[in-house]
Copies of this chain bind each other. A is one copy, B any other.
């Protein structure tokens, strides 16, 4: 589904520029109850999209959180009305650099304004306005999705009843900015990038985007997970070939990750979304003190991290929890023992799933939501 927001009043971006109207592509699952109190907003990560569950229309594979979202699952669509929108700057239907700039009649390319996590959330808030939803029962997201959760709870405290930032941070670290910068440089070094105007040249910077994805992908896994999954095992051969083919399974896997990614993602969108993550710094936005960000939020939080996540390590989640505690917010915190690295939030992790199920159940009781599906009430 798509909707247009900002037709009457354009979106005022953090950069000071105005953008509008903006198309928002989103998916919903489940049924909105009579008092519109059972809404769960899911925020997706850097390369995610609105196709959370079910079969993805582009890849033909299950959605990125299919194991968590659906009837009877942890995020139970028999009970909750689940909504997920493609982020501003994305490439799955929401306005982004691939779309036509109405002022020129040509694709935006690098003419698209640089956006922030705050801008992404502003657009989601406009979407909820359009749908007549005042308050969200829970906002949930991992990684960049978790950044949006924090932004939601601090920018719209009155609209968020509960918030679950998973494997996230309140500000992007120097190391993470560095990895993003490598990815951007790889894209920009691709001659097919053409300063961002590749659509007009009828080409795409596949090679650069694949290298960017390969680099990022390593950071999503733990060393242990890579070792367990691949170790030094060879790819369909008895011995090393003394060459530059993918002798090792881990090389073959990475090349595959790179080459399949370019079929579903836009290089400029990758630039814009990584930049939004780099810019995210909730402390600086609130006078240098993270606790200030949470001063007015009544939301109950469940902060979740994974022990082997070195991209968004537990120490970052702990900083969020400390800040929440220092303003006496309602917060629980779980570090899930896992050796799967950052990607754990997408994978089979029973402890994580039980934590989320329990929190949603408890929060729903506090909110007065019936245990049964709305249509059964």
Contacts and interface: CB of A to CB of B under 8 A. Distances in A.
Contacts of A17: 242
A47 interface: no
Interface string A162-188: 000000000111110111011011101
A281 B232 CA distance: 9
B232 A175 contact: no
Contacts of A221: 175
Size category of the A interface is: 35 or more
Interface string A213-225: 0110010010100
Main secondary structure of the interface of A (DSSP, over half): helix
A243 interface: yes
B226 A174 contact: yes
A255 to B, nearest CB: 7
A244 B110 contact: yes
A108 to B, nearest CB: 14
A117 B275 CA distance: 40
Contact of A210 (B189, B207, B232, B313): B189
Number of copies: 2
A177 B218 CA distance: 10
A20 interface: no
Contacts of A175: 218, 221, 223, 226-227
Contacts of A223: 173-175, 310, 313
Given A177-B248, A275-B244, A211 B189 contact: yes
A265 interface: no
A100 interface: no
A218 B250 contact: no
A114 B241 CA distance: 9
